[in-house]
Amino acid sequence: MSLPAKILTIQFCPKLGDKMSNCNKIGQMICDNSKEGLDLVILPEFFSTGIDDRSFVSQPEEESCSGVLGYFSQLAKQFRTNIICGTVIEKAKDNKLYNTSYAFDRKGAIVGKYRKIHLYNYLGGNEGNTINPGDTPVVVNFDFARVGISVCFDIRYPLLYKNLIKMGAEIIVSPSAWCTLSKSNKEDIADFINCWRALNIARAAESLVYFITSNLIGTSNPYLYSIGNSMITSPMGKIIANGQNSECAIFEKIDLSVVRKLKKEYPIYNID
């Protein structure tokens, strides 16, 4: 019987444009939850800047040993954990910008990156005004599990998840900044949370994986309210942890033998 995997998913409200403060806050949350050891840490979308168009354009990250990526490379080594580094705005060699999630192994090496495919350009969203879409699904072969990466609005596109399970994903993560308008009333926010909850359950149960979201919480900028409710959902669609509406680090042990058994008994990745 395999040992349970130790998972930490972060939910917090970043300070707009203040990368150092946000990184240090997450670093402390990881430190505070590291006593039992960690196999995987997941950070939210836009964790280092918040949802801030000016930061996206003026403070993009490049793959190097400095900046935000360098900080989390060192954390991965310090705590001997794998990290899905939320998303940062990546400046590629051709100067195009991408909303990119980087994967670090326990030695602090970048072992994969996923450029968000489905950008949010609806109902006032303008992500595509500055960001380019990616075009390639990604599954990272960590030392304890195969982890597929999706980001926020991707959750509405089930064919992406079909591809990830065909590629062998046992866990699928979704760094997110799932928001509604800051002036929304309580009833609208409750409906928005219900929709988010349903999508988390669906993506886990249809894919027979642990589905893990790491969402922002609170007023992400003057116009948007992030709903939190970061979740760890089992392959049978049971929500086993939920961050609700507060800043928190959610620690859970998950049994990957359940996923591996289900994939043998229900090989849905072979069925179209």
Digit-coded pLDDT (tens) for 62-76: 887 779 999 999 999
Which residues of the chain register pLDDT less than 50? Answer: none
**What secondary structure letter does DSSP report for 231?**
E
**Run of H or E residues at 194:** helix 186-207
**What is the pTM assigned to this prediction?**
0.96
The answer to whether residue 200 sits within a structural domain is: yes
pLDDT tens, residue by residue, 9-24: 999 999 999 999 999 9
Q: What is the DSSP string of 95-154?
A: S-EEEEEEEE-TTS-EEEEEE-SS---STT--GGGT-B-----EEEE-SS-EEEE--GGG
- Is 272 within the bounds of a domain? no
pLDDT of residue 272: 66
Q: What range defines the domain where residue 70 resides?
A: 5-266
Residues 25 and 38: their CA atoms lie apart, in Å, by: 18
Residue 192 maps to a domain: yes
Number of Cβ within 10 Å of residue 270's Cβ equals 8
Residue 166 lies in a domain: yes
The per-residue pLDDT for 111 is 98
Q: What is the CATH number of the domain that holds 244?
A: 3.60.110.10
Closest CA to 164 of 136, 137, 200: 137
Q: Distances from the Cα of 71 to the Cαs of 5, 127, 156, 190, in angstroms? A: 24, 26, 31, 36
**Total tally of structural domains belonging to the chain:** 1
Evaluate whether residue 163 is within a structural domain: yes
Query: Hey, which bits of the chain come out as E strands?
Result: 5-11, 40-42, 82-91, 97-104, 110-115, 138-141, 146-149, 171-176, 179-181, 210-215, 217-221, 224-227, 231-233, 239-242, 248-254
Q: Provide the Cα torsion 122, 124, 125, 131; round to 10°.
A: 100
**pLDDT at position 63:** 81
Question: Has residue 271 been placed in a domain?
Answer: no
